[in-house]
Amino acid sequence: MKHVLLFSSILLALGGCSLSADTPPLAEQRSNLLDDDSDGVINARDLCDDTPLTAVIDNDGCPTYLLLESDNSIRVQFANNSAIVEPAYREALDKMAQFLKLYPETSLELQGHTSSPGSEDYNQDLSVRRAEAVKSILIEQGAPEARVNIVGLGEGALMLPDNTETTQLVNRRVVGRVKGFKGEFKEAWTIFTQRNQ
């Protein structure tokens, strides 16, 4: 009898409960939680747009870069008292121009140098003319002009003591160094492949 009364009490208690819940309020989105470049970092935190899909990314949504062993620089030697670029350097300058086009975040600084014979003012001017000659060939080959800068150092930064004809030849140069190049990005490993049909 006690069990029947207890069961009846439980049924009466349950009968007063609603079996449906109120609809929860809609959450208001205050930040852009989309990921337009599909790199796994939301737009609100992503510092690098259009990240390559195969790149390993950091917490800011930017690709992780590999340090490269290749030397991204050029060196052009000049005859005495000359600012004429010899044809032998054309291929290296063409490769540098293509590199600058391929990596728009980079720039190139061309440093013009001379040997010590001659006046300091003349050598300063000659070093600028040498750097300008190299820059002009790079621009002809398609390098963006705004990203090629020149510095004339004259005889102020000799590589070797200027006491023989050979050491003077070494000092008559333009050296170009790339700035802003991070290297190739590190690719993510994937087990998925795409079959060509």
Condensed to tens digits (0 to 9), the pLDDT of residues 74-126 reads: 899 999 999 999 999 999 999 999 888 887 888 899 999 988 888 899 999 99
Say whether pLDDT at 31 is over 70. no
Say whether pLDDT at 25 is over 70. yes
pLDDT of 132? 96
Which of 184, 186, 197, 176 is closest to 92 using CA atoms? 176
Q: Is 161 helix (H, G, I), strand (E, B) or coil?
A: coil
pLDDT of 73? 81
Which of 188, 191, 183 is closest to 56 using CA atoms? 188
Identify whether 24 is part of a domain: no
Give the chain's domain count: 1
The pLDDT > 70 percentage for the chain reads 68
Q: For residues 189 and 166, what is the distance between their CA atoms, to the nearest angstrom?
A: 51
Identify whether 60 is part of a domain: no
The pLDDT > 90 percentage for the chain reads 30
Q: Are 98 and 142 in contact (CB under 8 A)?
A: yes
Residues spanned by the domain of 83 = 73-179
pLDDT of 195? 41
Q: For residues 117 and 159, what is the distance between their CA atoms, to the nearest angstrom?
A: 15
Tell me what the mean pLDDT of segment 14-33 comes to: 66
Q: Are 59 and 46 in contact (CB under 8 A)?
A: no
Q: Is 109 helix (H, G, I), strand (E, B) or coil?
A: strand
pLDDT of 66? 46
Length of the chain: 197
Identify whether 68 is part of a domain: no
Which of 50, 46, 49 is closest to 58 using CA atoms? 46
Identify whether 101 is part of a domain: yes
Identify whether 31 is part of a domain: no
CATH of the domain at 81: 3.30.1330.60
CA distances from 69 to 72, 96, 107, 182, 193 (A): 9, 16, 19, 12, 29
φ and ψ at residue 51, rounded to 5 degrees: -65, 135
Identify whether 1 is part of a domain: no
Q: What is the DSSP string of 10-79?
A: HHHHHHTS-SSPPPPPPPPP-S----TT-SSS-TTT--STT--TTB-B-TTSPBPBPPP-S--EEEEE--
Identify whether 102 is part of a domain: yes
Identify whether 135 is part of a domain: yes
Instruction: Quote the pTM value.
Output: 0.59
